[in-house]
Structure 1
């Protein structure tokens, strides 16, 4: 993330999705913001090799564009809308190298009140995202373990979310109908809900709990029988003098419901330890996810990562190395290290340059 966002997080402040946007129109009642980023990224790993290409290098560059607006009804109530799209280059076919792939990251609208909170609907963060963002703070290699339940993933479509916060207390709840999120088949065609509560004991220490449930199934089709994905979480964040320490635990059940089993228990953990000094940030992250049923081995995650980032205003340069701790028996290597659900036993090294506007 940008240095400005990281500094806000270290101060345990609330970070807006459009925090980097520039105001392109404003009058007494309306504001229109626009922003985005151009980010070139290179990933190096033996997991990038395929039968047809013996190359460790994989390009992971992307562009994000967003626009959002607010119109005041009165001093307390405003109407809001926001959308963001991500564009990447289609490299699936050598004959289509100039084609672009588009992904909707956000597309929502709603109403917000300084007294009663915000109610929004569309493609947006789940309630769970508030807690999983405690540890999803690195430029790369953080925030993996919550993506296997559509109600706990960072973003999903068809989400109705309510958010309320005071100086100390944050409460959020979200519900989904026939909802999808980026990731694996277990996050498609799902109905569900999630609820979280978080409390700041001091300006430096915050603790939260959450629960989510969906009816997703292992093959991603709502025409088959479905099982329950149940997830509960506990998250802790401490920040002071440039130090940010955070930990998130997830546990529960993930449904198979495709003939191999009814469901499987799982455990997951994220940890982040970072230090910001001047225009620099160094951090270490840990990601762990394991389901008891071997049918979910492709989802397993177990890695330790180190990262350094340097910020130059709107520009950022970073590098990160991931030490993969998975054994061959705990993973299903598929040769696509950047795709969720394609677990690999290989290490990774990734470098990137981002310009935000």
Structure 2
């Protein structure tokens, strides 16, 4: 696996604007691309959220479809737009009939010498930092603590600027649909010539109301570092902040990831994730696991993988489902996932 393939693997969690997208129209400075994926994901041993598996397999398969385009306005100004939706599977094993398309991204923007500015449902500024370690099957929790630092957020204005070929700066504002739910964020990644990157970001938002009671505010600091050398990629991110300063709910999260690619299409990935909330001094586990993944790329369009998640969480320490900040993990079972993904 060369640096290009490593970069593709690292950006897998980002918006799939089209490493494999097909150009279906190009005329007079206007282009239209269509892409997506069809992915079988079967979980064995236990469910991916740590709950016990009653049957033989939990089906987490999905299908994504995206459409993106650009149009040239002048020599120094262009417009762009992007849409992506995902359809889950109707699973009798889970009893979760999710066969409707769910909107993931829908935004439009302008790009020029000044950078790019876009409007719509999209990632906030801090997501570029969380993506540094979001490279394996189960990683990516660092962006999920507060709304203003998360991905796929409605009513988001995002600015992206690239400077001196090594510095990427993003700034975002979330114009909340409900009262007192506005947010903002800023982040930057600087990459040295030797392949070491440093990232830092800050996000904050108001938490709106529950009934007639006004909630407090949340904020998050996120820092990341990564390193790329030939077929090796290493990354780590750390997040800390307040989920709700009025309710005295805080959080911390660390995520470490590694990818090594061989020259025969096979790559091995590993990750460690530990995230937690502290509610008025009481600690709750959001997630705590090790992951090991083997991935084989038949070509640039189709790959197969097997992932094993070692769940370190104690069921009694997990965030209670009654909490509004309840995490994805509901149990302490391990998970074995088999996957086959076709990208187009």
Q: Aligning the two structures, in what range does the TM-score lie when normalised by the shorter sequence?
A: 0.7 to 0.9
Give the aligned partner of residue 289 of structure 1. 275
Aligned to 1:149: 146
SS at match of 1:292: strand
Structure 1 gap segments, 5+ residues each: 181-187
The answer to whether the aligner puts 1:199 opposite 2:186 as a matched pair is no
C-alpha distance in 2 between matches for 1:228 and 1:298: 20
Q: CA RMSD in A?
A: 3.4
Partner of 1:230: 219
Residues 252 and 277 in structure 2, CA contact (< 8 A), matched pair in contact too: yes
Which residue in 1 is equivalent to 2:130?
132
Deviation of residue 330 (structure 1)? Answer: 1.6
Residues 214-270 of structure 1, C-alpha deviations (whole Å, 9 max, x = no match): 1126xx74753111111001100100111000000000111286xxxx122221011
Partner of 1:74: 74
1 CA distance for matches of 2:211 and 2:5?
39
For residues 170-189 of structure 1, the aligned pairs below 5 Å read 170-178=168-176
Contact 2:51 2:331 in 1 (8 A): no
Match of 2:343 in 1: 356
Asked if structure 2 preserves the Cα contact closer than 8 Å seen for 1:268 and 1:290, the reply is yes
Match of 2:249 in 1: 264
Distance 1:190 1:280 in 2: 45
After TM superposition, the score normalised by the length of structure 2 is 0.87
Q: CA deviation at 1:70?
A: 0.4
SS at match of 1:130: helix
Count of aligned pairs: 336
Provide structure 2 residue ranges, at least 5 long, that are not aligned to the other structure. none
Change in CA separation of 1:25 and 1:49 when aligned onto 2, cut-off 3 Å: closer
d(CA) in 2 for partners of 1:119, 1:142: 28
Alpha-carbon separation, structure 2, partners of 1:122 and 1:83: 10
CA displacement at 1:50 relative to structure 2:
12
For residues 356 and 10 of structure 1, the distance between their equivalents in structure 2, rounded to whole angstroms, comes to 13
Matches for 1:74-93 after TM superposition, within 5 Å: 74-91=74-91
Show the counterpart of 2:308.
321
Conservation of the 8 A alpha-carbon contact between 2:285 and 2:313? no
SS in 1 for 2:176: strand
C-alpha change, 1:164 and 1:48, in structure 2 (3 Å) is closer
CA spacing shift, 1:26–1:274, aligned 2, 3 Å: same
Q: Which has the higher strand share?
A: 2
- Aligned-partner Cα distance in 2 for 1:283–1:50: 21
2:233 corresponds in structure 1 to 244
TM-score (normalised: structure 1)? 0.84
Q: Equivalent residue for 1:112? A: 111
Describe the shift of the 1:21–1:48 C-alpha distance in structure 2 as closer, same or farther (beyond 3 A): closer
Q: Deviations over 1:167-199 (max 9, x none)?
A: 11111000102269xxxxxxx983211100121
